[in-house]
Structure 1
Amino acid sequence: MERGKWKMEFLFVLLALLGGCIREEEFDDSPRGNFEALWKIIDEQYCFLDYKQIDWDGIHDKYKPLITAGMPDDGLFEVLDNMLAELKDGHVNLYSASNMARYWDWYLDYPRNFNEGIIERTYLGKSYRIAGGLKYKILEDNVGYVYYESFSDGVGDGNLDEVLSYLSACNGLIFDVRNNGGGNLTFSTRIASRFTNEKVLTGYIMHKTGKGHSDFSAPEPIYLEPSNSIRWQKKVMLLTNRHSYSATNDFVNAMRYFPNVTVVGDKTGGGSGLPFSSELPNGWGVRFSASPHLDAQKEHIEFGIEPDVKVDMDKEDEDKGVDTIIEKARELLKVG
């Protein structure tokens, strides 16, 4: 099934399921009402409760006593923030006019494996080129280097044509998505399609079909079609770290199925659940993972994707202004 088609079907299913998640049972705009509304939204619509073995009923009992009549908004927000943090999901957020609840331990608890200062000074320098969201340069050993900071930064087909044409004489390519926290899946598909000559099965999507924690549709296949424009034919080293998340996780998952691509660095941060938004009685917004994305073996990638070659930044290298992971990628490009 084409990605655009399953995205549309996914939207229709979620609109039907989520549109009435609060109206089915009326909750008043009180601390208790907002607490119960949020708990119920997650209970019926969050897609990883069973996979993560989360006792959501137990979490309800844990946080309910902390809710008191007349408690201030800041106090209520803190309790709801802490409750959502039990999901350990960077796609889960609560929004008020004054704050945003977020879970960032999925990367803060791990080695950073990235130093933007070294990238800017040692590798990109002052003469790099920019095409859409891509920063790129030919390194002195005739290796192409591309850094993509965010999948929220647009990349058009014209940009990709220019970048790949400019780097075409290079012996190989380093594509760096470290610290890319995600963004638009369209750009993930658009870029990945430049690295395959064949239609490739890259994963599966499941949709919520009911209120039970395991109520999902059968997995629907996701295929990536090759671009009908310029495609890269040489070796690629794809650099990742724990802050490679969400749409970046999707990109890495697709790219790893191509024979000319090697994933180098640290495990990605994950974030495979497509997010959806709802609202509490007091108007606070809530975003959460609503539809699981599996890999081509029908395995979850919510907790991240392991690299082919595990490399961590070396402190002595950093002190010298050297990126250990980039240097390993350059070394691998010279082999074979």
Structure 2
Amino acid sequence: MGTFETVWKQVNDTYYDSTFGGFNWENAHDRYMPLVTAAEKDEDFYRLVNRMLWELNVSHTNLIRPGNLARSEPLVCAEGSPGLDLRLLNGEAVITSVKPGSPAWEAGLRPGYVIQAVDEIPIEQILHEAELLMRPPYNYRACIGIFTKAILSRIYGTTGTEVLITYSEERGEKSDTILMRTKRSGAAVGPNGILYLAIDFEAKRLENGIGYIRLNTFQQPLAPMISGAIRSMGNVSGIILDLRGNAGGEIEEMPDLFLNERALLFLRRSINGETKMFFDPADNAYTGPLVLLIDQLSGSACELFAGSLQASGRAVVIGECSPGAVMESDMKIFPDGSILMYPVAQLATPDGTVLEGHGVVPDIEVSLEREMLLKGVDSQIDAAIRYLQKDGQNKPSQ
């Protein structure tokens, strides 16, 4: 009962809206307390506490069981990967990228192949189990994101362990392969100094003179990495910042790298009132044409970053609408290793648009297609290149 009371009180004392939007938070406590008291299994306790939290109908509310963070947030918290990424396309778990030289690459897996099962568990079963754990925001994009992470949480895992992948290739023929999970390319110490966060970072100059940078999170080591990558690219005609699958992090690390003047980028509304968040450009900030790629797994601070630069006219957004999981949150770590994630502020773009529950709508909507992936073409990157080669050259930097 101590954990239950602490969870309830933590939210009660720090929630951004003292009225809870008309929701009776005290009544929720009284309704769930006898249920939690009667819970005999840990899984029932966590299920009930989360059910109470999710009645708030906002993102970033979750009580995570000890040792389960990597399963809950595999995009950034799983330390090992066989070197592939995937998305749900028309109900199929389609491989969207394979890292050259990785176990997945050496086994012959390629973009466009469809994963049928993980460790002999059919994808359909994984999706059914994930459906029982849906949490806010309740929309199609967020659901697709949860489904995708449920699959990736079984593929990613502890470094040095193996995973059995059943897949079908271009002709539809099924095959099995055992892949080793290897350590991901980088790591950072996350909130509270004890959480493992994997950093996937890629930067290159494309043949057409366009810079390309991909990152899966916003954390402290990335700002100098991005700045250095931009310098090393030289005189590029534009930059594509690939934020697909970016789970967010610390937005303060990012905007100043792409501004050429002081700008209001977002509004922060907490229990203490509203604060206007201004950013100044960094030394040698990049101010040329900028395209941001987002999808249904671009969340939290990543959405705020994309939505703010879009609203200010600094960047063009291409891809798919993001889920709208855009609350500022904090964490409380319990002695047993449980982690409470709870919201402390509502965030809005400079024009007052609240992204929570709505997401960022791209300027140019483009979806991935399995047929194109099989041909080695990423339709979203391709659209970004076409934009920069055509329209981007005529658009002045802000």
TM-score, normalised by the number of residues in structure 2: 0.60
Aligned pairs for 1:19-168 (under 5 A) are 30=1, 34-47=3-16, 56=25, 59-60=28-29, 63-64=32-33, 66-69=35-38, 71-97=40-66, 99=68, 116-117=96-97, 134-152=201-219, 154-157=221-224, 159-168=225-234
Is residue 329 from structure 1 mapped to residue 309 from structure 2 by the alignment?
no
Task: Find the counterpart in structure 1 of residue 269 from structure 2.
Answer: 206
Counterparts of 1:315 and 1:143, CA distance in 2: 25
Q: CA RMSD in A?
A: 3.8
Aligned pairs for 1:232-311 (under 5 A) are 232-278=286-332, 284-303=338-357, 304-311=359-366
Please say if residues 92 and 103 of structure 1, whose CA atoms lie closer than 8 Å, have aligned partners that are also in contact.
no
Please say if residues 205 and 222 of structure 1, whose CA atoms lie closer than 8 Å, have aligned partners that are also in contact.
yes
Counterparts of 1:294 and 1:305, CA distance in 2: 11
Pair 1:82–1:264, CA change in 2 (3 A): same
Q: Please give the secondary structure, in 2, of the residue aligned with 1:317.
A: helix
Q: Give the partner amino acid of 1:240.
A: I
Please say if residues 311 and 325 of structure 1, whose CA atoms lie closer than 8 Å, have aligned partners that are also in contact.
yes
Please say if residues 66 and 336 of structure 2, whose CA atoms lie closer than 8 Å, have aligned partners that are also in contact.
no
Please say if residues 39 and 45 of structure 2, whose CA atoms lie closer than 8 Å, have aligned partners that are also in contact.
no
- Unaligned ranges ≥5, structure 1: 1-29, 124-129, 210-216
Q: Please give the secondary structure, in 2, of the residue aligned with 1:307.
A: coil
Q: Please give the secondary structure, in 1, of the residue aligned with 2:340.
A: strand
Once the two structures are TM-superposed, the CA of residue 272 in structure 1 deviates from its matched residue by: 2.7
Q: Give the partner amino acid of 2:371.
A: E
Task: Find the counterpart in structure 2 of residue 315 from structure 1.
Answer: 370
Please say if residues 308 and 350 of structure 2, whose CA atoms lie closer than 8 Å, have aligned partners that are also in contact.
no
Pair 1:226–1:114, CA change in 2 (3 A): farther
Counterparts of 2:17 and 2:368, CA distance in 1: 32
Counterparts of 2:11 and 2:326, CA distance in 1: 17
Q: Deviations over 1:287-330 (max 9, x none)?
A: 20111222112231223221111111122212222111111111
Counterparts of 2:99 and 2:387, CA distance in 1: 19
Once the two structures are TM-superposed, the CA of residue 82 in structure 1 deviates from its matched residue by: 2.8
Task: Find the counterpart in structure 2 of residue 187 from structure 1.
Answer: 253
Counterparts of 2:380 and 2:372, CA distance in 1: 10
Q: Please give the secondary structure, in 1, of the residue aligned with 2:204.
A: strand
Please say if residues 217 and 248 of structure 2, whose CA atoms lie closer than 8 Å, have aligned partners that are also in contact.
yes
Q: Please give the secondary structure, in 2, of the residue aligned with 1:256.
A: helix
Pair 1:119–1:264, CA change in 2 (3 A): farther
Counterparts of 1:283 and 1:327, CA distance in 2: 44
Once the two structures are TM-superposed, the CA of residue 155 in structure 1 deviates from its matched residue by: 2.0
Counterparts of 2:99 and 2:25, CA distance in 1: 43
Pair 1:237–1:79, CA change in 2 (3 A): same
Q: Please give the secondary structure, in 2, of the residue aligned with 1:327.
A: helix
Q: Give the partner amino acid of 2:54.
A: A
Once the two structures are TM-superposed, the CA of residue 156 in structure 1 deviates from its matched residue by: 4.0
Q: Please give the secondary structure, in 2, of the residue aligned with 1:255.
A: helix
Once the two structures are TM-superposed, the CA of residue 90 in structure 1 deviates from its matched residue by: 4.4
Once the two structures are TM-superposed, the CA of residue 193 in structure 1 deviates from its matched residue by: 1.5
Q: Which protein, 1 or 2, shows the higher relative CO under an 8 Å CA cutoff with sep ≥ 6?
A: 1
Please say if residues 304 and 348 of structure 2, whose CA atoms lie closer than 8 Å, have aligned partners that are also in contact.
no
Q: Please give the secondary structure, in 1, of the residue aligned with 2:97.
A: helix
Counterparts of 1:137 and 1:53, CA distance in 2: 49
Q: Deviations over 1:253-287 (max 9, x none)?
A: 33224545211011223333221234779885422
Q: Please give the secondary structure, in 1, of the residue aligned with 2:271.
A: coil
Q: Please give the secondary structure, in 2, of the residue aligned with 1:145.
A: strand
Q: Give the partner amino acid of 1:187.
A: E
Is residue 231 from structure 1 mapped to residue 231 from structure 2 by the alignment?
no
- Unaligned ranges ≥5, structure 2: 75-86, 112-185, 187-198, 392-398
Please say if residues 90 and 102 of structure 1, whose CA atoms lie closer than 8 Å, have aligned partners that are also in contact.
no
Pair 1:70–1:79, CA change in 2 (3 A): closer
Q: Give the partner amino acid of 2:299.
A: Y
Stretch of structure 1 that moved more, 261-270 or 146-155: 146-155
Please say if residues 90 and 103 of structure 1, whose CA atoms lie closer than 8 Å, have aligned partners that are also in contact.
no
State percent identity of aligned pairs. 23
Q: Deviations over 1:154-199 (max 9, x none)?
A: 1244x344322232332221110110101223322xxx22322111
Q: Give the partner amino acid of 2:386.
A: E
Once the two structures are TM-superposed, the CA of residue 74 in structure 1 deviates from its matched residue by: 3.3
Structure number having the greater strand percentage: 2
Counterparts of 1:143 and 1:320, CA distance in 2: 22
